[in-house]
């Protein structure tokens, strides 16, 4: 009869449940006599014999009643190693039900005991029920700690996936001298594989069984080994695995497995990018290859987050020469050394300089004659540009103008600007400056027909310098709090490789004057992202690490706009990439406004004097009124 409440008969779980039942019986048996002892002033001699006999008479009734209610509330179903609030709630519910049940039985079976003993026994049993179950969790905690000290190099591992990648991984684990992993079970959603073995390792169930099997097999580490699964399925499985508290790792994606085998050394921890519920943009690598291969390519801001990834992907496409141009020498040196190590045959030139320096820019383009320019150099930090608007104008607007003009005058075939969704109906100086950059590019495309000018506009990139990901990681490492400006703030996100792939794809599509816009799907709540990062670090939000709301910063808004209207925007061969038509404008008036901005920024005008000039150029710019 007892086996009926076991969802999957298991000897260990069965024995543990019997042990808990045994202690429950002891507690129920002892509680009545303990209540009499308390009732009669802690003196056994004072307890009347008739009460002892009465307690013996009603004991079987009480045992059957309490155990039946325990079964009803599934108090023998839980994994008590992880007993928590939900289990405590069920215990409280059971004891609420016991009150009327015992009162009915007292009348029905004419219990003849002092009234106070019922209350004492009731409370004693309630505390015993809690203690028996939660003490098991405490006991298992200390047992596991002792075990980990005795075997510090041995991790019990669950592998998710039973395909070829999982097989290679398990084989490598078995022979690796670098790690001491013991694969104890495998999870696979194909029910036909359940109960079978991969080697000598059992396939124990699908994703729904992950929490149960982590406990059953004492798993400390989970490795996700399905490189070909779609993103939403992967997120669902990873979220289930994350909830167990086990250390979570993942193998590389399919593109990394084409030229290399699965290796333990390639495992990485699951990151927040793995948990975002948006499908990545797919690009045509043949198009990218055609746009770059055997051409001289210049990347401005080549040491930055976007710029350095541009350099990596351009280098992989086999350019005739790659030129990295950046004002920050440390960043430029870092990507230079990385590319030299990974691609020793690459024709690489690394130069230091500013896009604001007209002479330097013209010298660079005359000397190296690039055919393709990816202009990523820019000031991108919103709050800093609010306090230094003149620098945003000098570096972003005038720097783009100087670079674009030099490109056209020196025979560059394609010039592509890296823009941002903050340029749409901007509320901050940085966004407004990038909108002006877009206007520069569109004006240049009309003025210089021999050069194809375009821009790519996308949202926030995960992991870039100045993004929330490095900030959250630092705050978590310091013990918190993790700061979010507003609970409801949302942003569109993409990974850096994805953003760069879009840029390279757009350089193939460009005919001149376009602003390419990515359909980024559903936006992401920053609050949700912060909490997921805390959980990925092994902590509980607002318990171990506080999430603190600091209020919107100057120039910041709750949401970013991409203004993708699929009914009016032009489509490309890529269903995720759209084209915004050129903005109608008076080029001569725009040039005059640009000169006024240049003079104003060089004069170091106060913020309240330069903002009106920016608004003349970008009428949709609505700045923070408190800072006008």
Picking from 227, 164, 214, 165, the residue whose alpha carbon sits closest to that of residue 187 is: 214
Residue 17, burial from CB neighbour count under 10 angstroms (0-12, 13-18, 19+): buried
CA 404 vs CA 193, 319, 596: distances in Å = 60, 21, 19
Specify the 3-state DSSP secondary structure of 426.
coil
| Bond from prior residue into 481 cis (ω within 30 degrees of 0) | yes
Picking from 355, 365, 451, the residue whose alpha carbon sits closest to that of residue 406 is: 365
- The three-point CA angle 489-455-433 to 5° equals 60
Name residues whose C-beta falls within 8 Å of residue 147's C-beta, 6 or more positions apart in sequence: none
* Residue 406 Cα to chain centre, angstroms: 41
Picking from 544, 605, 536, 8, the residue whose alpha carbon sits closest to that of residue 272 is: 536
For 183, other C-beta atoms within 10 Å of its C-beta total: 23
Please state, in angstroms and rounded to a whole number, the distance separating the CA atoms of residues 24 and 18: 10
Which spans in 84-189 are helix H? 85-108, 115-150, 164-175
DSSP 3-state percent helix, strand, coil across the chain (nearest 5): 55, 15, 35
Please state, in angstroms and rounded to a whole number, the distance separating the CA atoms of residues 454 and 418: 9
Query: Is residue 11 annotated as part of the catalytic site, yes or no?
Result: no
For 555, other C-beta atoms within 10 Å of its C-beta total: 21
Name residues whose C-beta falls within 8 Å of residue 628's C-beta, 6 or more positions apart in sequence: 608, 611
Picking from 205, 203, 279, 282, the residue whose alpha carbon sits closest to that of residue 235 is: 279
Indicate which residue of 394, 402, 422, 532 is catalytic. 422
Please state, in angstroms and rounded to a whole number, the distance separating the CA atoms of residues 428 and 380: 11
Residue 167, burial from CB neighbour count under 10 angstroms (0-12, 13-18, 19+): middle
The first and second tokens of residue 625, run together, are: 């009124």
Identify the helix (H) or strand (E) that includes residue 1: none
Catalytic residues: 422
């Amino acid at each position: 009869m007892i086996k009926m409440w076991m969802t999957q008969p298991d000897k260990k779980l069965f024995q543990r449940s019997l042990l808990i039942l045994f202690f429950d019986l002891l507690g129920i048996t002892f509680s009545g006599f303990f209540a009499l002892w308390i009732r009669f002033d802690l003196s056994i001699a004072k307890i009347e014999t008739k009460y002892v006999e009465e307690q013996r008479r009603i004991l079987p009734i009480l045992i059957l009643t309490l155990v039946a209610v325990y079964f009803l509330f599934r108090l023998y179903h839980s994994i008590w190693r992880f007993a928590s609030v939900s289990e405590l709630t069920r215990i409280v519910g059971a004891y609420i039900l016991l009150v009327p049940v015992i009162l009915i039985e007292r009348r029905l079976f004419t219990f003849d005991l002092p009234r106070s003993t019922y209350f004492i026994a009731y409370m004693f049993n309630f505390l015993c029920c809690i203690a028996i179950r939660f003490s098991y969790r405490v006991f298992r905690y200390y047992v596991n700690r002792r075990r980990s000290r005795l075997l510090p190099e041995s991790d019990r591992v669950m592998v998710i996936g039973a395909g070829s990648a999982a097989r290679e991984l398990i084989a490598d684990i078995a022979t690796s001298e670098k790690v001491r992993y013991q694969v104890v079970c495998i999870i696979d959603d194909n029910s036909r594989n359940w109960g079978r073995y991969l080697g000598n390792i059992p396939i124990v169930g699908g994703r729904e069984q992950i929490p149960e099997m982590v406990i059953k097999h004492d798993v400390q580490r989970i490795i996700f080994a399905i490189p070909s699964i779609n993103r939403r399925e992967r997120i669902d499985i990873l979220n289930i695995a994350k909830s167990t508290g086990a250390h979570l790792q993942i193998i590389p994606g399919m593109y990394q497995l084409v030229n290399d085998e699965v290796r333990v050394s390639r495992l990485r921890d699951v990151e927040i990018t793995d948990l975002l519920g948006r499908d990545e943009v797919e690009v045509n690598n043949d198009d990218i290859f055609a746009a770059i291969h055997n051409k001289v390519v210049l990347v401005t801001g080549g040491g930055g987050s976007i710029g350095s990834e541009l350099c990596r992907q351009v280098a992989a496409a086999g350019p005739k020469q790659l030129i990295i141009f950046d004002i920050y020498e440390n960043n430029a040196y870092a990507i230079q050394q990385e590319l030299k190590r990974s691609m020793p045959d690459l024709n690489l030139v690394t130069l230091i300089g500013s896009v604001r320096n007209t002479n330097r820019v013209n010298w660079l383009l005359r000397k190296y004659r690039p055919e393709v320019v990816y202009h990523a150099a820019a000031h991108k930090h919103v709050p800093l540009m609010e306090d230094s608007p003149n620098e945003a104008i000098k570096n972003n607007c005038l720097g783009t103008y100087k670079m674009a003009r030099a490109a056209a005058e020196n025979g560059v075939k394609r010039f592509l600007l890296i823009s941002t969704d903050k340029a749409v109906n901007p509320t901050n100086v940085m966004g407004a400056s990038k909108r002006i950059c877009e206007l520069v590019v569109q004006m240049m495309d009309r003025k210089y027909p021999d050069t194809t000018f375009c821009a790519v506009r996308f949202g926030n990139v995960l992991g870039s310098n100045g993004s929330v990901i490095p900030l959250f990681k630092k705050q978590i490492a310091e013990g918190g709090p993790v700061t979010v400006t507003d609970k409801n703030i949302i942003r569109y996100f993409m990974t850096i490789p994805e953003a760069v792939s879009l840029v390279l794809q757009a350089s193939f599509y460009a005919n001149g004057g376009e602003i390419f816009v990515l359909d980024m799907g559903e936006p992401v709540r920053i609050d949700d992202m912060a909490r997921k990062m805390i959980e990925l670090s092994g902590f509980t939000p607002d318990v171990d690490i506080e999430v603190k709301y600091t209020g919107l910063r100057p120039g910041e808004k709750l949401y970013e706009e991409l203004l993708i209207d699929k009914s009016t925007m032009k489509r490309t061969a890529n269903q995720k990439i759209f084209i915004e038509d050129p903005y109608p404008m008076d080029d001569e008036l725009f040039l005059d406004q640009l000169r006024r901005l240049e003079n104003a920024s060089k004069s170091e005008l106060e913020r309240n004097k330069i903002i009106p000039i920016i608004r003349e150029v970008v009428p949709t710019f609505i700045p923070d009124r408190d800072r006008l």
